[in-house]
Chain A
Amino acid sequence: MTNEELQTKYQSLLDLANQNGWQYSLSGGDDGVLHVDVNVPDDNAKQQVWDKYNEIDPGMAGGDLVLNANVTGSQSAGGGANTYVVEHGDNLTKIGQKYGLTWQQVFEANKDIISDPDLIHPGQELKIPTA
Chain B
Amino acid sequence: MKVKYLYVLAIVAALMMAACGKNDSDLQKAASSKLAADNVSGVTVAVKDGNATLTGEVADITVKTKAEASVKGVEGIKSVDASGLKLKPLPPAPTPMGDDKMMEGTINENLKKANISGVTAMVSNGEVTLMGEVPKADLAKAMQAASAANPKKINNQLKTK
Contacts and interface: CB of A to CB of B under 8 A. Distances in A.
A99 B147 CA distance: 17
A30 interface: yes
13 contacts: A3-B89, A3-B90, A27-B91, A31-B152, A50-B140, A50-B144, A60-B143, A66-B93, A66-B151, A66-B153, A68-B147, A81-B149, A83-B109
Given A4-B61, A66-B151, A99 B156 contact: no
Interface in B21-73: 60-62, 65
Nearest to B141: A50
B87 interface: yes
Interface residues of A, number: 43
B109 A98 contact: yes
Interface of A: 3-4, 7-8, 11, 14-15, 18, 26-31, 33-35, 50-51, 53-54, 59-61, 63, 66-69, 79-85, 98-101, 128, 130-131
Closest 9 CB pairs of A and B: A28-B93, A100-B101, A99-B105, A7-B61, A98-B105, A50-B140, A81-B148, A29-B90, A35-B93
A51 B137 CA distance: 11
Given A29-B90, A53-B140, A130-B97, 18 more contacts: A3-B89, A28-B90, A30-B89, A31-B93, A60-B139, A60-B140, A61-B157, A63-B153, A63-B155, A66-B151, A66-B153, A81-B97, A81-B110, A98-B109, A99-B98, A99-B106, A131-B98, A131-B102
A26 B105 contact: no
A3 B106 contact: no
Interface of B: 60-62, 65, 87, 89-94, 97-99, 101-102, 105-106, 108-110, 112-113, 139-140, 143-144, 147-158, 160
Main secondary structure of the interface of A (DSSP, over half): mixed
B96 to A, nearest CB: 10
Contacts of A130: 97-98, 102
B113 A35 contact: no
A79 B123 CA distance: 20
Contacts of B108: 98
Given A63-B156, A66-B150, A82 B106 contact: yes
Contacts of A61: 156-158
